Amino acid sequence: MSLSVAYCALGNCRRLTARHRFFSTVKTVNGFIGAIGNTPLMRIESLSRETGCNILGKAEFMNPGGSVKDRAALYVVKDAEERGLLGPGGTVVEGTAGNTGIGLAHVCRAKGYRCVIFMPNTQSQEKIDLLRMLGAEVFPVPAVPFDNPENYNHQAARLAESLGSNAVWTNQFDNTANRRAHIETTGPEIWAQTGGTDQTDPTGPPLDAFTCATGTGGTLAGTARYLKERDPRIRIVLADPPGSVLHSYIQSGGQLTERQGSSITEGIGQGRVTDNLRPDIGLIDDSVYIPDELTISTLYRLLDEEGIYIGASSALNVAAAVEVAKQIGPNKTIVTMICDGAYRYQSRLFSRKWLESKNLLTAIPDHLQKYIVL
Ligand code: PMP
């Protein structure tokens, strides 16, 4: 039996063209950088069944550096090169909660640059270790608010400045090359994978809504910009954890409040409107608040029912997609981001002591507590 016939025999073959498309996507790419993007869109079966909607997660953990931030890392480095700020022997400096730094460390190794990372000392040890293994110089610094000069971003900016020429602070929060990565890659990929809203391409379900949380805002803003330009009917929903001000900002029609509380999610939640988010904040139709209890129970449920092992921001995004499905469903398609895997956080997310310290043990149903092995 030929491979294509075997594939059809498995029940996967809807149409001849779809089958050809499947095989034509298997290709060779150029190194680490060539492997960034073009991630699959995964249907989350149990939640789709439960909501009567298509809940689809963009499998960003399949990027070569393991997260959605590989896209932004590549774009900010390319932008610095194109603007003549970075060349052979150069240094990239960034303030990052982890994943952008990991993406940057990979891209810098692939391109031969020195990589220096400042990060808040609240981040997981796995991420710090990995950055160092990838050759980055890492400085964990006290987690203080953005308006404090000792904030990790300002420390990164000062170091780049002191190094002089051929050293850049890539400034992921306010460098809009980050947002451009998603206008040029994530948005078009989701559009192509879903067949848009008008079903001109029947290989995917129509797209009704996109939801995700924001850290820098690059993913939400850039993806929303592309999708809304293709079809303004696509609903854009911001998902927000505790300790972030964006949900109340959207709900109040633009009032910024003080940050209060904190979340177990890493890499998301924001105290201000970044330059990446500002141009597109008007494209956001609504926002949903996801408490940590729902994030952690969704994370354990996805592992148990789907076999997917994802980080807390991804679990929050999936929980948000379910909320959106309840609001606009049934028979709708909602896309969200599976930003990274749980591997980077497992010493926390699967530790009984840590869960207890966050008062989250009771949020995990008894039959799922078998996964708490640390
Ligand atoms: N999830 C994780 C795990 C992240 O590291 C980040 C980036 N800090 C995000 C989500 C948010 O992405 P963005 O910066 O594009 O808003």
Residues 220 and 100 in one domain: no
pLDDT at 17 over 90: no
Which one of 119, 142, 169 terminates a domain? 169
CA separation for the pair 68, 85 (Å, rounded): 25
Residue 8 lies in a domain: no
Which one of 124, 142, 169 terminates a domain? 169
User: In sequence order, what are the residues at sequence separation of 6 or more whose Cβ sits closer than 8 angstroms to the Cβ of residue 5?
Assistant: none
Residues 270 and 328 in one domain: yes
> For 146-156, how does the pLDDT look when each residue is reduced to its tens digit (9 = 90+)?
889 999 999 99
Residues 129 and 190 in one domain: no
Residues 163 and 216 in one domain: no
Residues 97 and 205 in one domain: no
Residues 346 and 330 in one domain: yes
In which region does residue 240 sit, left (phi positive, over 0), alpha (psi from -120 to 50) or beta (all else)? beta
Structure token digits, residue 32: 């680490």
> What is the Rg, in whole angstroms, of the alpha carbon atoms belonging to the chain?
20
Among residues 84, 83, 58, the alpha carbon closest in space to that of 71 is found at 58
Please, are residues 170 and 115 in contact by the beta-carbon 8 Å criterion?
no
Task: Identify which has the larger pLDDT, 293 or 197.
Answer: 293
Residues 126 and 242 in one domain: no
Residue 308 lies in a domain: yes
Residues 210 and 130 in one domain: no
Residues 217 and 310 in one domain: yes
Which one of 169, 204, 227 terminates a domain? 169
In short, whether 214's Cβ falls inside 6 Å of ligand 1 is: yes
Q: What is the largest CA-CA distance in the chain?
A: 66
Residues 56 and 72 in one domain: no
Residue 337 lies in a domain: yes
Q: Whose CA is nearest to atom 3 of ligand 1?
A: 267
> For 220-244, how does the pLDDT look when each residue is reduced to its tens digit (9 = 90+)?
999 999 999 999 999 999 999 999 9
Residue 21 lies in a domain: no
Measured CA angle at 349 (ends 216, 121), to 5 deg:
50
Share of the chain above pLDDT 90, in %: 84
In short, whether 215's Cβ falls inside 6 Å of ligand 1 is: yes
**Best residue for ligand 1 mutational test, from 313, 316, 318 (most atoms within 8 Å of Cβ):** 313
In short, whether 95's Cβ falls inside 6 Å of ligand 1 is: no
Residue 249 lies in a domain: yes
Q: Where are the alpha helices (DSSP H) in the chain?
A: 3-9, 16-24, 31-34, 45-51, 69-82, 99-111, 125-133, 152-163, 177-181, 187-194, 218-230, 246-251, 292-306, 312-328, 346-349, 352-357
Residue 9 lies in a domain: no
> For 50-76, how does the pLDDT look when each residue is reduced to its tens digit (9 = 90+)?
999 999 999 999 999 999 999 999 999
Q: Which residues are catalytic?
A: 69
How many residues comprise the chain?
A: 374
User: In sequence order, what are the residues at sequence separation of 6 or more whose Cβ sits closer than 8 angstroms to the Cβ of residue 314?
Assistant: 57, 61, 299, 337, 338, 339, 340
ipTM: 0.99
Q: Whose CA is nearest to atom 4 of ligand 1?
A: 267
The pLDDT of residue 126: 78
The pLDDT of residue 22: 46
Give the domain extent around 85. 68-169
CA separation for the pair 73, 117 (Å, rounded): 13
> For 267-325, how does the pLDDT look when each residue is reduced to its tens digit (9 = 90+)?
999 999 999 999 999 999 999 999 999 999 999 999 999 999 999 999 999 999 999 99
pLDDT at 4 over 70: no
Q: Whose CA is nearest to atom 7 of ligand 1?
A: 267
Tell me the CA–centroid distance for residue 4 and ligand 1, in Å: 38
CA separation for the pair 21, 34 (Å, rounded): 20
Q: How far is CA 226 from CA 97, 187, 267, 282, 309, in A?
A: 26, 5, 23, 14, 29
Residues 163 and 239 in one domain: no
Q: What is the CATH number of the domain that holds 311?
A: 3.40.50.1100
Q: How far is CA 159 from CA 250, 267, 325, in A?
A: 35, 22, 45
User: In sequence order, what are the residues at sequence separation of 6 or more whose Cβ sits closer than 8 angstroms to the Cβ of residue 285?
Assistant: 235, 236, 237
The pLDDT of residue 124: 74
CA separation for the pair 159, 116 (Å, rounded): 9
The pLDDT mean for the chain works out to 91
pLDDT at 79 over 70: yes
Q: Name the pTM for this structure.
A: 0.91
How many structural domains is the chain composed of? 2
Written as one letter, the residue type at 303 is L
In short, whether 333's Cβ falls inside 6 Å of ligand 1 is: no
Q: Whose CA is nearest to atom 6 of ligand 1?
A: 267
Please, are residues 142 and 121 in contact by the beta-carbon 8 Å criterion?
yes
Residues 55 and 195 in one domain: yes
